[in-house]
Chain A
Amino acid sequence: MSLAELNARLAAKPAAELRVDGLSVTYNTARGPFHAVEDVGFTVPAGTNLGLVGESGCGKSTVVKALMGLLPEGTGLTGRALLDGDDILGLTDDALRDVRWNRIALITQSAMNSLDPVYSIGDQIVEAIRAHEPVGRATAWARAEEMFALVGLPAARLTEFPHMFSGGMRQRAVIAMALALNAGMLLADEPTTALDPIMQSQIMARIRGIHAHMRRSMVLVTHDIAVVAETCETTVVMYAGKVVESGPTGQVLGRPLHPYTMGLQNAFPRLPVRGAPRQPLISIPGVVPNLASPPPGCRFAGRCPFAADLCRTTPPPVAAAGPQQAACHFTDRAEEFRAAAALPETWRKMRAAA
């Protein structure tokens, strides 16, 4: 198969749809089961981006690993993940052979360590291509050169080894690798976390550009809601292993229903706008609860400035307002909470109490 034929074949792949339903992941640790992810569900319509946000340790990366089948052996896994209708959850490595990279590819979190140090980067991209397409080395290499051009790296550097690349270049190489087979679904697991802010925005701009160009579907895992606001049609907010709020990005970030989403928004620095009042930076006091023994009620109750007794005893139901959903007892008071959450005193009082 020639390069032109390979390119045509890969370009014909449609964007994929992903429906995750009731996904729960339980790590079996020496100190008993650890419920890293519980009853997570979301849908990525074909050709769209979904942002999965939340602070460190909330289970975002575990969701990605579950979807790629990369969880350690013996991890408890329930639920379904339908990729274009096929359930890919909990399949064996052999059964996933055709799914991985062919239909669902991964942009890893720590690009620093996710390339094999003893193979050239070109060889590692070629390996991925030839694992799925019946092409010779030369054709695969030519395809790798095109992918390098796409992410803005000179083709000559394909022969180099990972340690010869800077962090930003490595991240771009990993993106080039993820695009090599034009998989219908991309999972980007904090693709910019390890980079400096300038490189972060360059890489995100690159990902957005490629995405607009190739019309793939993507799940973007990040703790940076500014990135989600710019990139994703849908937003899913996770807290302590559960989805607390989800819906169209404009609504979730513009008019959040869950106090955690409100707090998350305040916790990000914004450039001062002339004329507008300076936004104070407010952090959410406290830490994520220990998931080996989660609290009986709402998991956010311990850090929520609006928590009532009900919140500490009863898990909240999922309330829907159109396509926007939130797991909170008091979604009807969201308007009032939003006003209060914008004030630093609201959260400071929490810290004093805690």
Chain B
Amino acid sequence: MRAYILRRLAQSVLVVWAVTTIMFFMFRVMPADPTAILLERGLTDEARQALLERWGLTGSLWDQYIAYLGNLLQGDFGASFFYRKPVWEVLFPLIVNTLWIAVPGLLLGAAIGAAIGTAVGWARRGGKLERSGIFLATVIRGVPNFVIGIALLTVFSSTLGWFPGFGMGDPGETTGFARYLTLDFLHHLTLPLVAVIIYFLPENLLLMRSGVVENRTEDYIELVRAKGVPQRRVAWHAARNSMLPLITWLFPALAETIAGIVVIEIVFSWPGVGRELVLAVTRQDYPLAQAAFFLLAVMIVLANLAADLVYGKLDPRVVYK
């Protein structure tokens, strides 16, 4: 088990290094000049040259790469060209903002989806519940998530006026972590969170349903029924055995979410890391974009490792070699 984890960690380092390298060179070959966005502010040629030197963009590509890797190993992501601040200072609050909608959204989406999926899978084959469940899940999955976002905004913000339409609200006097505990924040959080839940729900529902449908005809379900336990308990056995594929899906999804809910962040003007990533790329803000991609890669790799380990806990038949 320990040898397994160590080997997987070593592999992970390799993967992250590869991603970092590819990212670095991809941004450098893009035909644009990061100082261009500052031109309108009346940058002189000397000042521009000075900036390039300060940002470490003057040496050969190879020298730049070595310097970048060296800094990265010391935990230094550099400074954002655009914000003129260390990248970490820019990214950290944005990551927190994103996690606020990503983590609860994903977990609730998975939990609600799995619960409904179990009910749909356990329902009579060809019955009303099964047919309407599959129909709704398929339709929702087919709708682009910005449409869901706009629909939520139209109904609950513009028309009914129940929830605010954009941003995270005014922190006012409260600063730091306390702002996340205000009612105002939760009020702003509701609609984007619901959008993320709806985004993840159908996938989980369908995965769970097909698992339950497959498992309900297994011999062991027949024996559980024969034992005379309540029906809910029988359905639970089928659900428990259908959860395994959901787990392998869940962890990588958590990491991919950060990038995947960009659209929802944009629709709700939610100041998250996904939205910033897109902006950083268009602004040629290499350090910021590279750092964001680096973090994404680390998260995805770790999430996959975590999924494999949790899988072993859920399915006693899994052996680590």
Contact = CB atoms under 8 A, between A and B. Distances in A.
Nearest to A164: B316
A118 B223 contact: no
Contact of A99 (B224, B228, B229): B228
Given A106-B223, A114-B222, A116-B241, A127 B314 contact: no
Interface string B233-256: 110010011000000000000000
Interface in B196-218: 218
Given A108-B222, A108-B223, A117 B228 contact: no
Contacts of A161: 316-317
A108 B228 contact: no
A100 to B, nearest CB: 3
State the majority secondary structure of interface residues on A. loop
B316 A118 contact: yes
Nearest to A161: B316
B231 interface: yes
B124 interface: yes
Interface string A271-305: 00000000000000000000000000000000000
Contacts of A73: 124
Contact of A117 (B227, B229, B233, B241): B241
Contacts of B314: 118
Contact of B230 (A97, A114, A115): A97
A42 interface: no
Contacts of A94: 231
A100 B226 contact: yes
A277 B231 CA distance: 58
B229 A113 contact: no
Interface string A96-129: 1111111001101010011111111000000110
A114 B229 contact: no
A115 B228 contact: no
Which residue among B219, B223, B231 has the maximum number of chain A CB atoms within 10 Å of its CB?
Answer: B223
Contact of B229 (A69, A70, A108, A128): A128
Contacts of A163: 316-317
B225 interface: yes
Contact of A116 (B124, B226, B237): B237
A332 interface: no
A113 B226 contact: no
Given A131-B227, A132-B228, A108 B219 contact: yes
Given A116-B220, A116-B237, A117-B241, A102 B228 contact: yes
Contacts of A114: 219-220, 222-223
A37 B291 CA distance: 70
B13 to A, nearest CB: 33
Nearest to B125: A73
Contacts of A105: 226
A117 B218 CA distance: 11
B315 interface: yes
Contact of A113 (B218, B230, B231, B315): B218
B230 A116 contact: no
Contacts of A177: 227
A30 B101 CA distance: 49
Interface in B2-48: none
A120 B293 CA distance: 43
A164 B318 CA distance: 12
Given A106-B226, A117-B220, A93 B231 contact: yes
B225 A117 contact: no
Contacts of A119: 237, 240
Given A73-B124, A108-B219, A131-B233, A116 B316 contact: no
A8 B263 CA distance: 66
B200 to A, nearest CB: 24
A339 B240 CA distance: 58
A151 interface: no
A114 to B, nearest CB: 4
Contact of B316 (A108, A117, A127, A128): A117
Which residue among A97, A99, A174 has the maximum number of chain B CB atoms within 10 Å of its CB?
Answer: A97
B227 A101 contact: yes
Contacts of A128: 227-229
Given A70-B222, A117-B316, A98 B241 contact: no
Contacts of B237: 116, 119
A100 B316 CA distance: 29
A115 to B, nearest CB: 6
A113 B230 CA distance: 21
Interface in A227-256: none
A127 B124 CA distance: 25
A68 interface: yes
15 contacts: A97-B229, A100-B228, A102-B228, A106-B226, A114-B219, A114-B222, A115-B220, A117-B315, A117-B317, A118-B241, A127-B224, A131-B229, A161-B316, A161-B317, A174-B223
Interface of A: 68-70, 73, 93-94, 96-102, 105-106, 108, 110, 113-120, 127-128, 131-132, 161, 163-164, 174, 177
Question: 4 closest A-B pairs (Cβ-Cβ)?
Answer: A100-B228, A113-B219, A161-B316, A131-B229
Given A113-B220, A116-B241, A127-B224, 19 more contacts: A70-B222, A73-B124, A100-B227, A100-B228, A101-B227, A102-B228, A106-B223, A108-B226, A116-B237, A117-B316, A118-B314, A118-B315, A118-B316, A119-B237, A120-B316, A128-B227, A131-B228, A161-B316, A174-B223
